[in-house]
Amino acid sequence: MNERAQAVPRISCVMPAFNEAATLPRVVPQVLAALAQLSPHVELIVVNDGSRDATAAVATALCAVHPQLVLIDLSRNFGKEAALSAGLDGARGDVVFLMDADGQHPTALLAEMLAGWRQGYDVVYTVRRTRSDQSALQRRLTGVFYGLLNWHARVKVPRNAGDFRLLDARVVQALRLMPERHRFMKGLYAWVGFRSLALDYEPLPRLAGETRFGFVGALALGTTGLFAFSATPLRLMGMTGVLLSLAALLYGLWVVFEYAFLGISVPGYATIVAGMMLLAGVQLMAIGLLSEYVARIYDEVKQRPLYLVAGRAGQGLAGDGAATSADTRTP
């Protein structure tokens, strides 16, 4: 018998926020109202990721109005992946939702996600139906990214899956064991495994302001994911070296054939210069790829905390006997 079918779980919802002072007064009551329909024991954890506006002040004021709200105020901007990790470290629920603070994740889907958990799924993640809000170039690059990331990979990362998802407490505990500093959460969700269910959804319009996660941010996150979860760049560089070696061998044989059988003497200066420039470019590219991997190894071995907490506010599920998390994240 499925014990979850009739269970009344304690629910945490983690919401990273960066410069979302204008949206929080509208998003927080909406999310809390939706969570209250699912369980009487809920908390909403807003992680202020070094916002430059009044996000921290607005969240602190909301904590005084909503006792279910918790604010984790990071000491600076550590990035969304670290902010998600900070929220997961502070979550006390049996079930943890991950949502954005801009209002684009529909709260109407929370009940369906919890229904998936009751059916025995440990992870219920959402997949975007379309990417109509992105340019054709961004959509093509996204396809290329997932193709490279999953090429010959033991663990496949679902295409177009977002951070909007439900995690069982067992999955959260597994994610807490991941020591990476260069975090690609979508890859970590896939790596830990567990029984998963995908739901289609369409993002809602932002409640206020404009997204700050544009093409440059997506490119940086994609680079992190590719280098953190794939050896594809190294494999491609190795294949490039093999192909160039074969091309050089075939060209050399052709030059010998022309000279020996056709009596044609090939001028060598231009060919040598072009070949040297090509090889030099490929070698520099290979050195750059290796340097990127080495730099990431260097960051990992320094063992610096993933994030630092400057302050906290609110109660949430405090008092239920769960231990609180530390103010730093180290393995």
In tens, the pLDDT along 57-100 reads 888 888 888 888 999 999 888 888 888 889 998 888 889 999 88
* C-alpha–C-alpha distance, residues 254 and 271, integer Å: 13
Q: Which residues on neighbouring strands pair with residue 200, listed in sequence order? A: 127
- Global pTM reads 0.72
Greater pLDDT, 268 or 294: 294
Among the listed ranges 116-120, 139-143, 202-206, which one has the minimum average pLDDT value? 139-143
CATH domain 11-212+304-314 topology: Spore Coat Polysaccharide Biosynthesis Protein SpsA; Chain A (3.90.550)
229: nearest Cα among 176, 157, 320: 157
Residue 77's pLDDT is: 87
Q: What is the pLDDT of residues 207-231, one digit of tens each?
A: 665 666 555 656 666 666 666 666 6
- List the structure tokens of 279: 């090889």
Per-residue pLDDT, 323: 38
Average pLDDT over residues 152-169: 78
Please give the mean pLDDT across all residues of the chain: 77
